[in-house]
């Protein structure tokens, strides 16, 4: 049996009761690969939960940012028309949309819609 550094700190196997002796013997016979797999299986649910919490935090931060944007900024940031922005703001259901190209297009449309109209004629 392999002697581990912690054996000096651990109780001797003979001072344990029979079920503890079995657990101790099994623990000492685990290979590093088996130990790695056991630890990965134990940590996987925690990793998934941490990932879900990070996604939720990101979503909440985005919503907070959206709450402070003007209508023009929202329109420039999302691929939506000004009327859709108003409707979605009222519904509280803004979702991030599109690519930079669509965002640039929307920014131009917002400029056109929100730009003060010039009077016609001379």
Q: Structural domain boundaries of the chain?
A: 28-68, 70-117
Distance CA 8, CA 5 (A): 6
Say what the pLDDT of residue 96 is.
46
Say what the pLDDT of residue 83 is.
74
Residue 64's φ and ψ, nearest 5 degrees, are -65, -40
Given a cut of 60, whether residue 81 has pLDDT beyond it is yes
Global pTM exceeds 0.85: no
Q: Are 94 and 78 in contact (CB under 8 A)?
A: yes
Given a cut of 80, whether residue 53 has pLDDT beyond it is yes
Which range has the top average pLDDT, 47-51, 90-94, 106-110, 115-119?
47-51
Say what the pLDDT of residue 1 is.
47
Kindly indicate the confidence band of residue 20, based on its pLDDT and cuts at 50, 70 and 90: low
Distance CA 106, CA 71 (A): 12
Neighbour-count burial for 54-74, b at 16+ CB within 10 Å, e otherwise: eeeeeeeeeeeebeebeeeeb
The predicted model gives 18-34 an average pLDDT of 69
């Amino acid at each position: 049996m392999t002697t581990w550094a912690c054996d000096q700190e651990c109780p001797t196997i003979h001072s344990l009761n029979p079920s503890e002796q079995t657990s101790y013997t099994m623990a000492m016979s685990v290979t590093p690969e088996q130990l790695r797999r056991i630890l990965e299986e134990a940590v996987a649910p925690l990793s998934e939960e941490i990932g879900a919490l990070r996604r939720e935090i990101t979503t909440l931060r985005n919503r907070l940012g959206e709450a402070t944007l003007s209508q023009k900024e929202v329109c420039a940031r999302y691929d939506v028309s000004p009327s859709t922005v108003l409707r979605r703001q009222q519904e509280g259901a803004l979702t991030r949309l599109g690519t930079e190209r669509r965002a640039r297009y929307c920014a131009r449309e917002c400029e056109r819609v929100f730009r003060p109209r010039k009077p016609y004629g001379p």
